[in-house]
């Protein structure tokens, strides 16, 4: 006997397996908690809007609309507007000789990661990632049916021997790394580590997807050349940059650097996904890079972020339990604390929110084998005084959750 | 014996099968030809930039940057900024009651189509499309491993009996239609045809992806309510709109309307693809829709396009061979000519370009069984005098290519 559908049943669209059960997510719930009134949130990687160079950005929009208005409103090309590609190449060439023809513009790094996944990944492919790594990259790869395998890291980033072993076992399609001021840990790979990783990748012939959105946000004055700039690596690396953390996340402009025929595939994939990025925004970012002093702006922002990093590092050290480990980022936006065995940062979150402080539980950053005692704390959004106060309250919550 | 790679061989990234062999495309070559100096191109669907409401758009950017600047440069939400969703809902509600919560903002319709494909399509799924249909939609679906099946059409659009038969045979995951001023044919489905199609879709329980980027560009003053507005259809239709043809393609803002849980899946897919659309552009389009008179602007543009449609229709009728068929669009941007058996518009293109006129050969718009005698001619870019002259030259080329 077949039962006819009740007319009260709402229609349900078929959903692809890649998104089945993803209508809501624990992360969405966490961010909803973090956004509650009275909660000091360290959960998101949200730049402080008071630090935006609003005047310079506005001037760039004004100039584009009054000098290139018709072009800005017209269709552009999937590869990206030439002025922006030239500015991107100019910046990259400080470390790695780059021509505008090697740049593909994307609507932020997220679209860049998605374009790479579209261009390169088959269902079942393995992608090796740092353990822990950036979760939105994991999602862009996962929805292409790729399997993420986390590679062990230490305070210098991914461990070359572990990487080589994982390559031998898993035959990955590609390796995804964030070598500088990593999300979520804030760690940076020293030059020797980069060289060792490059050597492994060349020996095993595995391509590198190098994500570098934070590299310019240095607290020491030193910057790190990307792995792509090491001998032999530029032709086997797709290097992603973004203006989100340096100028504005709302403008959604980033770019990729690559060499050879993959550039054509990246452009075709970009066209299939979104045709092209906003021409107004592209020309505006190009104008901004040409006329404003981005380095001075980034130095100013980094100075403020450094004070906040200092405030958080000072506040958190005394409240962590014995055996806990916390990173000391020399740039970027994030600090990463592992409370140690017996703690569960996800379980603790409800009490933290009740005490008016939120963080991102670290389990979500692991492709596999999550360390549930970890948490990511963004130090960039709040002033030192607010940080000091909120971390104090977090300390009370930690103290009330003795090791189980 | 294994031969070691020559060090002269450039590194080659692995490419996913979905993009294998797509580094270049015949279409890219066609557009390169069409862009040659001295060629009057009817190939692209490029709005006339002289008709852009540049002053109003500039005023909207100015207002957003001076009143909502910090917010415009900050992260937004994947669903889209609420002001824009409210404006979209307001416009849609003329035909179909719509709440802002039912809107998902996309970076143009292309991203909307890609988001739908991500959310709904499994490899091997069949998508039924009009024959011919919009080729970039076909690409967004194809890279998800879907199989496109073209359904027969007449001058009133897709034929309901053919649609029902194709559904019975192919069990499609979804049906994709452009009911109003279709690309590439310029055809519009009359109300009775829409009702018959809706009846088939409800009886067979197949969801509809309804693409409506051109609907407002009417030459008669009449507009057509979307199929989604017919009784019982709103819950089983994802309706896509775009500002590209009404305000600016360079700004890359469009939206989708849907109901129920698929809205959550669409937001998750959008987040995986590009996190969110440019907040600056979203707020600007919202401001523009709130303060400028889009209807008056579209009426002005449509008036100009109508004159150009008239010029092209008048010029092409006498130069077409006996037995040719040409559409008479009552809106939109495209006119579609089928020269008839024995003609090959692709073969003819080289001579046309040599004579200083370009069109898009129609074969590329067919999911299967291409009619190679067809061509798409966009009438919106050039003045009546230029159209008249160039179509005259096209006539000479056609005359020099007698039926084979």
With an 8 Å Cβ cutoff, are A264 and B23 in contact? Answer: yes
| Closest alpha carbon to B377 in B360, B395, B399 | B360
With an 8 Å Cβ cutoff, are A277 and B252 in contact? Answer: yes
Sign of CA dihedral A267, A271, A276, A277: negative
Of the partner residues B15, B120, B258, the one whose CB lies closest to the CB of residue A15? B120
Instruction: Give B8's pLDDT tier (boundaries 50, 70, 90).
Output: low
CA distance A73 to chain B (A): 4
Q: Is residue B132 reached through a cis peptide bond, with omega within 30 degrees of 0 on the bond before it?
A: yes
| Closest alpha carbon to B334 in B181, B154, B158, B108 | B181
The pLDDT of residue B396: 97
Helix (H) or strand (E) holding B361: strand B360-361
The pLDDT of residue A33: 80
CA distances for A138 relative to A148, B151, B300, angstroms? 7, 38, 48
Helix axes B384-400, B345-354, angle to 10 degrees: 120
CA distance B93 to chain A (A): 21
CA distance B400 to chain A (A): 34
With an 8 Å Cβ cutoff, are B261 and A12 in contact? Answer: yes
Report the C-alpha gap between B387 and B146 in whole angstroms.
Answer: 38
| Closest alpha carbon to B51 in B292, B245, B329, B310 | B245
The pLDDT of residue A32: 82
Mean pLDDT of B248-254: 97
Q: What is the ipTM of this complex?
A: 0.96
With an 8 Å Cβ cutoff, are B70 and A58 in contact? Answer: no
Q: Would you call A65 an interface residue with chain B, using a CB distance cutoff of 8 Å?
A: yes
Backbone angles phi, psi at A89, to 5 degrees: -65, -40
The pLDDT of residue A7: 55
Q: Is residue B71 reached through a cis peptide bond, with omega within 30 degrees of 0 on the bond before it?
A: no
Of the partner residues A14, A74, A119, the one whose CB lies closest to the CB of residue B120? A14
Q: Is residue A184 reached through a cis peptide bond, with omega within 30 degrees of 0 on the bond before it?
A: yes
Q: Please, are residues A130 and A281 in contact by the beta-carbon 8 Å criterion?
A: no
With an 8 Å Cβ cutoff, are A174 and B62 in contact? Answer: no
Cβ within 8 Å of residue A129, ≥6 positions away? A137, A138, A148, A149, A150, A151, A175, A176, A177, A367
Q: Enumerate the residues of chain B whose CB falls inside 8 A of the CB of residue A233.
A: none
- Using the predicted structure, report yes or no on whether residue B216 has a pLDDT greater than 90: yes
B402 CA to centre of own chain: 32
| Closest alpha carbon to A238 in A267, A272, A271, A216 | A267
CA distances for A64 relative to A73, A78, A288, B354, angstroms? 10, 19, 10, 36
Q: Would you call A23 an interface residue with chain B, using a CB distance cutoff of 8 Å?
A: yes
List, as ranges, residues 269-298 from A with C-beta within 8 Å of B: 269, 271-281
Instruction: Give B2's pLDDT tier (boundaries 50, 70, 90).
Output: very low
| Closest alpha carbon to B214 in B185, B238, B237 | B185
Residue matched to tokens 């707020």: B283
Backbone angles phi, psi at B10, to 5 degrees: -70, 150
With an 8 Å Cβ cutoff, are A273 and B25 in contact? Answer: no
- Per-residue pLDDT of B331-344, as tens digits, reads 999 999 999 999 99
- Per-residue pLDDT of B44-99, as tens digits, reads 888 999 999 999 999 999 999 999 999 999 999 999 999 999 999 999 999 999 99
Other Cβ atoms less than 10 A from the Cβ of A306: the count is 18
Q: Enumerate the residues of chain B whose CB falls inside 8 A of the CB of residue A144.
A: 16
Report the C-alpha gap between A113 and A178 in whole angstroms.
Answer: 12
Cβ within 8 Å of residue A331, ≥6 positions away? A180, A181, A186, A188, A214, A215, A217, A218, A219, A220, A302, A305
Report the C-alpha gap between B57 and B73 in whole angstroms.
Answer: 18
With an 8 Å Cβ cutoff, are A118 and B16 in contact? Answer: yes
CA distance B114 to chain A (A): 6
Q: Which domains does chain B have, with CATH numbers?
A: 17-52+296-400 (3.90.1150.10), 55-291 (3.40.640.10)
pLDDT-flagged residues of chain A (< 50): 1-3
The pLDDT of residue B345: 96
Residue matched to tokens 């104008």: A287
Q: Enumerate the residues of chain A whose CB falls inside 8 A of the CB of residue B259.
A: 10-11
| Closest alpha carbon to A129 in A183, A86, A52, A65 | A183
With an 8 Å Cβ cutoff, are B274 and A54 in contact? Answer: no
Instruction: Give B6's pLDDT tier (boundaries 50, 70, 90).
Output: low
Report the C-alpha gap between A11 and B204 in whole angstroms.
Answer: 13
- Per-residue pLDDT of A156-200, as tens digits, reads 999 999 999 999 999 999 999 999 999 999 999 999 999 999 999
Q: Would you call A16 an interface residue with chain B, using a CB distance cutoff of 8 Å?
A: yes
Of the partner residues A14, A24, A120, the one whose CB lies closest to the CB of residue B14? A120
Of the partner residues B70, B249, B280, the one whose CB lies closest to the CB of residue A75? B249
DSSP-based three-state secondary structure for B330: coil
Report the C-alpha gap between B198 and B92 in whole angstroms.
Answer: 19
CA distance B24 to chain A (A): 7
Q: Please, are residues A227 and A208 in contact by the beta-carbon 8 Å criterion?
A: yes
The tokens of A107 are what? 């609507």
Backbone angles phi, psi at B341, to 5 degrees: -55, 140
Strands A174-177 and A126-130 come out as: parallel
CA distance B106 to chain A (A): 9
Q: Which residue of A has its CA nearest to B142?
A: A272
Q: Enumerate the residues of chain B whose CB falls inside 8 A of the CB of residue A281.
A: 278, 280-281
CA distance A402 to chain B (A): 36
Mean pLDDT of B341-369: 94
In the 8-state DSSP scheme, what is residue B344? -
The pLDDT of residue A23: 75
Q: Which residue of A has its CA nearest to B77?
A: A250
Residue matched to tokens 């590329």: B364
Interface test with A, best of B53, B74, B273 (most A CBs within 10 A): B273
* DSSP sequence for B221-272: S-----GGGSTTTGGGEEEEEESTTTT-STT--EEEE--TTHHHHHHHHHHH
CB contacts < 8 Å between A and B, how many? 269
Q: Would you call B401 an interface residue with chain A, using a CB distance cutoff of 8 Å?
A: no
* Percentage with pLDDT > 70 across chain B: 98
The tokens of A232 are what? 């032999």
């Amino acid at each position: 006997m077949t039962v006819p559908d009740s007319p009260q049943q709402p229609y349900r669209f078929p959903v692809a397996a890649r998104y089945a059960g993803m209508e809501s997510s624990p992360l969405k719930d966490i961010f909803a908690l973090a956004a509650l009134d009275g909660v000091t949130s360290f959960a998101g990687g949200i730049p402080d809007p008071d630090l935006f160079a609003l005047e310079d950005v506005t001037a760039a929009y004004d100039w584009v609309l009054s000098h290139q208005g018709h072009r800005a409103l017209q269709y552009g090309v999937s590869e990206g507007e030439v002025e922006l590609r030239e500015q991107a190449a100019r910046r990259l060439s400080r470390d790695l000789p780059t021509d505008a023809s090697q740049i593909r513009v994307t609507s932020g790094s997220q679209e860049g990661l998605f374009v790479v996944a579209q261009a390169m990944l088959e269902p079942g492919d393995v992608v090796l990632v740092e353990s822990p790594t950036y979760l939105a990259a994991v999602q862009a790869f996962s929805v292409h049916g790729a399997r993420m395998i986390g590679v062990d890291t230490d305070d210098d980033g991914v461990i070359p021997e572990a990487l080589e072993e994982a390559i031998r076992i898993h035959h990955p399609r590609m390796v995804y790394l964030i070598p500088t001021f990593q999300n979520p840990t804030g760690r940076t790979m020293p030059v020797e580590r980069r060289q060792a990783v490059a050597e492994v990748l060349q020996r095993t012939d595995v391509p590198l997807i190098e994500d570098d959105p934070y590299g310019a946000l240095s607290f020491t004055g030193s910057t790190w050349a990307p792995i792509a700039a090491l001998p032999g690596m530029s032709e086997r690396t797709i290097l992603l940059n973004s203006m989100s953390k340096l100028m504005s996340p709302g403008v959604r402009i980033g770019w990729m650097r690559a060499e050879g025929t993959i550039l054509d595939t990246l452009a075709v994939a970009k066209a299939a996904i979104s045709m092209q990025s906003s021409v107004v925004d592209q020309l505006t970012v190009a104008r901004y890079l040409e006329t404003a002093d981005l380095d001075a702006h980034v130095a100013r922002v980094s100075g403020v972020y450094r004070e906040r990093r200092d405030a958080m590092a000072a506040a958190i050290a005394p409240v962590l339990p014995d055996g806990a480990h916390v990173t000391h980022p020399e740039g970027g936006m994030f600090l990463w604390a592992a409370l140690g065995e017996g703690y569960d940062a996800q379980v603790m979150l409800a009490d933290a929110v009740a005490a008016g402080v939120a963080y991102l539980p670290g389990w979500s950053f692991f492709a596999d084998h999550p360390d549930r005692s970890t948490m990511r704390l963004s130090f960039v959004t709040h002033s030192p005084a607010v940080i000091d106060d909120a971390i104090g309250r977090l300390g009370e919550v930690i103290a009330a959750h003795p090791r189980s």
